[in-house]
Amino acid sequence: MTPHINAQSGDFAKTVLMPGDPLRAKYIAENFLENARLVTDVRNMFGYTGEYQGKRISVMGSGMGVPSISIYAKELITDFGVENIIRIGSCGAVSEKIKLMDVVMAMGASTDSAVNRTRFPQTDFAMIADFGLLRRAADAAEKLGASYHVGNLYSSDLFYSPDESRYDFMEKYGMLGVEMEAAGLYGVATEFGARALAMMTVTDHLRLGQHLTAEERQQTLNDMIKLTLEAVKDLD
Ligand SMILES: O=P(O)(O)O[C@H]1O[C@H](CO)[C@@H](O)[C@H]1O
Ligand SMILES: O=c1cc[nH]c(=O)[nH]1
């Protein structure tokens, strides 16, 4: 057990999918995994382990923001033997080339968070996805015919930022979307030697003022879960 995860040794699979919302973790466990059982519930941050096509897989909420995902990802890796963490979340888009419901795969994650400067002093360490996970996800997206983009993402500490000019900056430098966790997850994975990937569906277009409906959110979530499970089902 750790301060934030009340599971036993061996309760987690080597691969953990991490949605932000713990109720999404519950939804995934109940609708996509077989023989799923709850393995942790501290602070209602639910984690489950089950099987997908015979492959042992866990799913656990990360909460919102870099500090929250950093706590859970670190403890999963150092105390529960987790080797692969795939964030499955939502993001806002700033470029008209990116449409609502598209999937964004964060090959890299830029951020205004200071965590990685604290972690790697005097170095702007590149926050990058694990290439093997990224390749699997891109292959699964091709196979399933998903509309997807691979590139740089912006992980913001503020959901409600007072600075709207930052969207110009993000668009100018080719950010595919803005969310709040990927750069933290990649920093933890780098520090503790695990593999990580962050994959988001575009739920909001921040330039065009468009937002998915509740039904569209559910559909994109289901599509991304299928894509992710397809990507990791043969992972060692
Ligand atoms: O959909 P999830 O994974 O929660 O991610 C996004 O949604 C939250 C903000 O509403 C932030 O956590 C952001 O990263
Ligand atoms: O962080 C996020 C997530 C979804 N949509 C946004 O606009 N921002």
Q: What digits encode the pLDDT tens for the residues 211-234?
A: 999 999 999 999 999 999 999 999
Name the residue of 112, 159, 178, 197 whose CB sits within 8 Å of the most ligand 1 atoms, as the mutation to test its pocket. 159
Q: Answer yes or no: is 3 within a domain.
A: no
Rounded Cα distance between 1 and 16, Å, is 17
Tell me the pLDDT of the chain averaged across its residues: 97
* 107 in a known ligand binding site: no
Q: Which atom of ligand 1 is nearest to the CA of 91?
A: 6
- Ligand 2 center to 209 CA (angstroms): 12
* 90 CB near ligand 2 (under 6 Å): yes
Rounded Cα distance between 3 and 40, Å, is 11
* 83 CB near ligand 2 (under 6 Å): no
* 157 CB near ligand 2 (under 6 Å): no
Q: What is the pLDDT along the chain (236 residues), one digit of tens a residue?
A: 999 999 999 999 999 999 999 999 999 999 999 999 999 999 999 999 999 999 999 999 999 999 999 999 999 999 999 999 999 999 999 999 999 999 999 999 999 999 999 999 999 999 999 999 999 999 999 999 999 999 999 999 999 999 989 999 999 999 999 999 999 999 999 999 999 999 999 999 999 999 999 999 999 999 999 999 999 999 97
Instruction: Report the number of distinct structural domains present in the chain.
Output: 1
- Ligand 2 center to 207 CA (angstroms): 12
Based on the residue annotation, tell me whether 163 is a catalytic residue of this protein: no
Strand partners, 197: 86
Q: Answer yes or no: is 226 within a domain.
A: yes
Q: Answer yes or no: is 5 within a domain.
A: no
Helix, strand, coil % in the chain, rounded to nearest 5: 35, 30, 35
Rounded Cα distance between 49 and 35, Å, is 8
Q: What is the CATH number of the domain that holds 96?
A: 3.40.50.1580
Residue nearest to atom 2 of ligand 2 (CA): 179
- Ligand 1 center to 208 CA (angstroms): 19
Q: Answer yes or no: is 1 within a domain.
A: no
* 24 in a known ligand binding site: yes
What does the pLDDT look like over 25-63, one tens digit per residue? Answer: 999 999 999 999 999 999 999 999 999 999 999 999 999
The pTM of the full predicted model, rounded to 2 decimals, is 0.97
Q: Predicted ipTM? A: 0.97
Q: Answer yes or no: is 200 within a domain.
A: yes
Q: Answer yes or no: is 8 within a domain.
A: no
* 181 in a known ligand binding site: yes
Q: Are 93 and 101 in contact (CB under 8 A)?
A: no
Domain with 178 in it:
15-232
* 175 in a known ligand binding site: no
Q: Answer yes or no: is 219 within a domain.
A: yes
Rama region for 159: left / alpha / beta (φ>0; ψ in -120 to 50; rest): alpha
